[in-house]
Amino acid sequence: MTTMTTTSVLEARGVTMRFGGLTAVRSVDFTVNTGEIVGLIGPNGAGKTTFFNCLTGLYIPTEGTVSYKGTVLPPKPHLVTKAGVARTFQNIRLFANMTVLENVLVGRHTRTKEGLWSALLRGPGFRKAERASEERAMELLGFIGLAHKRDHLARNLPYGEQRKLEIARALASEPGLLLLDEPTAGMNPQETRATEELVFAIRDKGIAVLVIEHDMRFIFNLCDRVAVLVQGEKLIEGTSDVVQADERVIAAYLGEPFEGDPGEAEAAEVTAAEATADATADTPSTTGTPGTTKGDAQ
């Protein structure tokens, strides 16, 4: 028998985030270990996205520290990405008027060493790096199943594919940890199931995953551990079985124990989500520079 040593990838200690009088995240300790898929759930407004923003340098926590592989992360999004932590956003942030391939190439910029002059002069070093980048981007598009759409504009993709493209772009920075903020929001049941497989495949590549979702079936199927955030505080953390059975979780969040098969309420939720997806597919996604202003840091 081989013994697996557990090493932590991400360590958050005493993370608190206050906005004026509102404490959105309160003294949260949180660990993600190598090889794990960890879920973060909680009601709307519980502080899940705010916590992600604290982990990824979009917000500087009022208190506490965040470390990646033993080193405290600098509170700057591009440095966090460079260190090895990538994310997707609750509101899709693609470059709508760029192609699928170009969007993935943008995600590679923290990993390309070629400097500005080399790029301007388009010397042999630059061209070689560019070819290697494109090859890697195409490999990632193959991995998520969008290689055939490489030249399509991002805004013309159906909603579910836009979410997948965001994942490919995040993977392009070659992360050791991937944070997903509601990756299946607006997806139909088949797309959700496919996303589940995709997350397992990402984990199998040696990338730890931390995922926020409201879809309990998705979360409990997928995650090795689940943490529940309620009003900014971590209520409980444990295996799916333990969390599903916890009376405080049932009372605070789930309403009733999760039984594995979708009930009527879940079926209604899926129908509603599909309606939203159809409506959203008609509207172009959030575009432009992935800004870091407070208002749109969702």
Ligand X SMILES: Nc1ncnc2c1ncn2[C@@H]1O[C@H](COP(=O)(O)OP(=O)(O)OP(=O)(O)O)[C@@H](O)[C@H]1O
Q: Is 160 in the site for ligand X (CB under 6 A)?
A: no
Could you give the CA distance from residue 61 to residue 40 in angstroms, rounded to a whole number?
A: 18
- Of residues 45-104, those binding ligand X (CB under 6 A): 45-50, 90
Question: What letter would DSSP give residue 156?
Answer: G
Toward ligand X, which CB reaches closer, 78 or 294? 294
244 binds Mg ion (CB under 5 A): no
- Residues numbered 213 to 232 that lie near ligand X (CB under 6 A) are none
Shortest Cβ distance from residue 182 to Mg ion (Å)?
A: 7
Min CB(140)–Mg ion separation in Å: 25
162's contact among Mg ion, ligand X, none, with CB below 5 to 8 A by partner kind, is: none
Query: Judged by CB, which is closer to ligand X: 45, or 263?
Result: 45
Is residue 229 within 8 A of residue 46, CB to CB? The reply is yes
DSSP sequence for 225-267: EEEEEETTEEEEEE-HHHHHH-HHHIIIIISS---SS--HHHH
Site string for Mg ion, 208-227 (x = CB under 5 A): --------------------
**Which residues does 289 contact at the CB level (< 8 Å), separation at least 6?**
none
Q: According to CB under 5 A, which residues from 8 to 27 bind Mg ion?
A: none
**Residue 162 engages Mg ion in binding (rule: CB under 5 A):** no
Rounded Cα distance between 177 and 198, Å, is 15
**One character per residue 88-127, x = contact with Mg ion (rule: CB under 5 A):** --x-------------------------------------
Token pair listed for 200: 């397992």
> Mask: binding to ligand X, 11-40, rule CB under 6 A, as x and -?
--------x--x-x----------------
Number of residues that bind ligand X (CB under 6 A): 13
From start to end of 20-134, where are the E strands? Answer: 22-33, 37-41, 63-68, 71-72, 85-87
At 107 the three-state DSSP class reads helix
Q: Looking only at residues 256 through 295 of this chain, which bind ligand X when binding is defined by CB under 6 A?
A: 294
Provide the phi-psi class of 20: left if phi over 0, else alpha when psi is between -120 and 50, else beta. left
Q: Which residue is nearest to Mg ion (CB)?
A: 49
Please pick, from the candidates 24, 26, 40, 49, the single residue that binds Mg ion as defined by CB under 5 A: 49
Q: Which uninterrupted H or E stretch holds 16? A: strand 8-19
Residue choice 44, 71, 283, 289 for contact with ligand X (CB under 6 A): 44
Q: Which range, of 48-56, 61-69, 242-250, 265-273, touches Mg ion by CB under 5 A?
A: 48-56
Residue 256's CB: how many other CB atoms inside 10 A? 8
**Strand 225-230 vs strand 233-238: parallel, antiparallel, or unpaired?**
antiparallel
Q: Which does 45 bind (CB under 5 to 8 A by kind): ligand X, Mg ion, none?
A: ligand X
Report, in Å, the least distance between residue 78 CB and ligand X: 20
**Smallest separation, CB 185 to ligand X (Å):** 9
Q: What CA–CA distances, in Å, run from 49 to 56, 58, 226, 240? A: 10, 11, 16, 21
Applying CB under 5 A, which residues contact Mg ion?
48-49, 90
